[in-house]
Structure formats: C-alpha cells, structure tokens
Amino acid sequence: MVRHLLPKDHPNRDNPDYIVTACMFCNTADNRYFDMAERRGVSFEGLSPDQLVAQRLPYVEATRQSYREFWEANVAPRQDYDMTESVP
C-alpha cells in the first residue's frame, strides 16, 4: 500500500519522495490524519519526508495502543485463569 505524506492540496503530494509504503494496519490506523491536521496544529510546510513520518508516527502509535488495550481487555486469555482446573 502507498501512503501520501502530504495533503491533497499540496504541490508536492505526488512527488515520489513524499510517498511511502505502509502495511494495511498503518495505512488505515489514522486515515483522517489530514482532516484532523488543522485541529491538531499539524503543518506540512518545509518538512522533509523523514520529518513528516516522524510527525505522523505518534498518531499511528496511539491507534495501535488503543487496539492493544481493546485486545487485552476483550480478547487476550485471562492471566488468572488456571488451566489445570479444566482438566477432567
């Protein structure tokens, strides 16, 4: 999957230097990033591709963390479950 580092109205949006590959998770983890940029005070002017990635990373990681917490609360095997009790 490819991911643009710049919003739709930016002149460098389709410059290959500003397009990265991302896995499915990261690609969808923060798919309203550009919509939210103004509210979050995120800006794209004068930043290198590496700086753009670094700026975005915390938002992707926040989504990963919330998924992790959901998994631990709802999906993960319970830590206090005693396996020996289920043996007949």
Question: Which lies closer to Zn ion via its Cβ, residue 6 or residue 29?
Answer: 29
| Whole-number Å distance between alpha carbons of 28 and 1 | 10
Instruction: Output the smallest distance, CB 64 to Zn ion, in A.
Output: 9
| Whole-number Å distance between alpha carbons of 64 and 13 | 26
- Residue choice 23, 54, 62, 76 for contact with Zn ion (CB under 5 A): 23
3 pairs with which residues across the strands? 20
* Number of Cα atoms under 13 Å in the Cβ half of residue 43: 4
Instruction: Output the smallest distance, CB 67 to Zn ion, in A.
Output: 12
29 is an interface residue for Zn ion by CB under 5 A: no
Instruction: Output the smallest distance, CB 26 to Zn ion, in A.
Output: 3
57 is an interface residue for Zn ion by CB under 5 A: no
| Whole-number Å distance between alpha carbons of 24 and 2 | 9
- Residue choice 5, 6, 18, 26 for contact with Zn ion (CB under 5 A): 26
Give ∠ CA 37-67-63 in degrees, rounded to 5: 15
**Contacting residues toward Zn ion, per CB under 5 A:** 23, 25-26
